[in-house]
Amino acid sequence: MSTYKTGLEYALEQDQNDPLNSYRSQFHIPKNAAGNELIYMTGNSLGLQPKHTKAYVNQELDDWAQLGVEGHTTGKTPWLPYHEFLTENMAKVVGAKPIEVIVMNTLTVNLHFMMVSFYKPTKKRYKILIESDAFPSDKYAVESQLRHHGFDDKEGLILWKPRTNEELLRYDDLENILENEGETIALILIGGINYYTGQFFDFKRITKIGHRYGCKVGFDCAHAAGNVALKLHDSGADFAVWCTYKYLNSGPGSLAGCFIHERHAHDKNLNRFTGWWSHNKKTRFNMRDEFDQLPGAEGWQLSNPPILSMAAIKASLDLFEDVGMDKLSEKSKKLTGYFEFLLKQLGDETIRIITPNNPEERGCQLSIQVKNGNKKLHDQLTEAGVISDWREPDVIRCAPTPFYNSFEDVYLLVEKLKKIVNASLKPI
């Protein structure tokens, strides 16, 4: 969409013509005390619950009640192979082959598991490169890995930083880091979409740079999976991890996903932690056999998974399969482009968007700064019925999510923001 218009009538017209508008009614939209729907813009923090999730979870509760242990094999969706019911749809969401994807554990746990296999430091090559404003959990994890292997967690950590007075990262600067220190870097770990700025990185470009210098390359896709059309297999990355409770709408603290590139699928020499769920399925219950590792991403499992969490993931993935990432991405670009357009109508003197303006370099999230603003502004938005996200020191993150957000949501959000800004901030 090349042109947008102001006014509520335009927003309502776009919603009426939106081929995905019926999916909003398939999600529970939070309401205020008066029973009015809130404007929910935090799918980048916790996705909303699909209305059919309860039925999926209740099915497993019913099978547990009626079948007991036999539910592992005779339930409607048997528990023993339950993770397999998620694999194909999850692989489509992240642009991977089924053999490359597994749903297991939680995000940072998976990140540590991946570093067990793909962070193999030597005395010469031991450093880890991350973005300077990576999500804190990633930074803590890599620092602990450095310490675990006997290295200084500050000296061994290299930060890809934005230039002075800039927020976004430049690939030329990454190239320069690798040219100068590539032979000392064992692992490059980048957030697929930066949680703070909303910058969507070029996975293939970063992977090529890293592999050229002999580094392993991985991505944390927590803010990318279900948000943008990922192409993990084509990127050539060694691994990726992501959570499912943001854009994948699986509920707070739900299980995470993991990608290991197909070229590693049959490499039994890769170091890893193992457990009985990574053992050959055909002989797993013989109990006394020597370990026989499964090929592909399944070979990184340890334990039988929590079925209730997987049921919620299945409920959401079935919606993704119904729509497809291409259609979701198409609407997302239109919706976020409209959001950007309306924000710019407020004037650059007031609102600054730090997220890239190129739709190919962002997902649905826009990170906005308001001159002379502080957390009070975010609190006032909340009081006005907008659920957004504040990140220190001065950014409000809003993510119009294509499954359940509307053009009307975006219009009303900007109108409320304009009213609050005009009432509380002095013009510059």
pLDDT level of residue 425 (50, 70, 90 thresholds): low
On average, the pLDDT of the chain sits at 95
- pLDDT for the residue 87: 98
> CA of 138: how far to CAs of 129, 169, 399, in Å?
11, 17, 22
pLDDT digits (tens, 9 = 90+) for 226-284: 999 999 999 999 999 999 999 999 999 999 999 999 999 999 999 999 999 999 999 99
Non-local (6+) Cβ contacts of 374 within 8 A are 394
Question: Any idea where the domains of the chain sit in the sequence?
Answer: 8-50+325-424, 81-322
pLDDT digits (tens, 9 = 90+) for 184-224: 999 999 999 999 999 999 999 999 999 999 999 999 999 99
What is the full DSSP assignment across 210-247? HHHTT-EEEEE-TTTTTTS---HHHHT-SEEEEESSST
Q: Which CATH architecture has domain 81-322?
A: 3-Layer(aba) Sandwich (3.40)
- pLDDT for the residue 198: 97
CB-neighbour burial class of residue 123 (10 A; exposed 0-12, middle 13-18, buried 19+):
exposed
What is the full DSSP assignment across 18-63? -TTGGGGGGBPPPB-TTSPBPEE-BTTTSPPPBTTHHHHHHHHHHH
- pLDDT for the residue 1: 46
396 membership: H or E segment, kind and range: strand 395-398
pLDDT digits (tens, 9 = 90+) for 27-50: 999 999 999 999 999 999 999 999
pTM above 0.75, yes or no: yes
Q: Which CATH architecture has domain 8-50+325-424?
A: Alpha-Beta Complex (3.90)
Question: Has residue 319 got a pLDDT over 90?
Answer: yes
Question: Has residue 130 got a pLDDT over 90?
Answer: yes
Over range 408-418, report the average pLDDT: 96
Of all residues in the chain, the percent with pLDDT exceeding 70 is: 98
- pLDDT for the residue 428: 41
User: Do 294 and 300 form a contact (C-beta atoms < 8 A)?
Assistant: no
Of all residues in the chain, the percent with pLDDT exceeding 90 is: 91
Question: Has residue 380 got a pLDDT over 60?
Answer: yes
- pLDDT for the residue 391: 87
Supply 255's token pair: 């299980």
- pLDDT for the residue 351: 83
User: Hey, which of 307-321, 338-352, 414-428 has the most confident mean pLDDT?
Assistant: 307-321
Picking from 320, 351, 372, 340, the residue whose alpha carbon sits closest to that of residue 417 is 351
User: Do 101 and 94 form a contact (C-beta atoms < 8 A)?
Assistant: yes
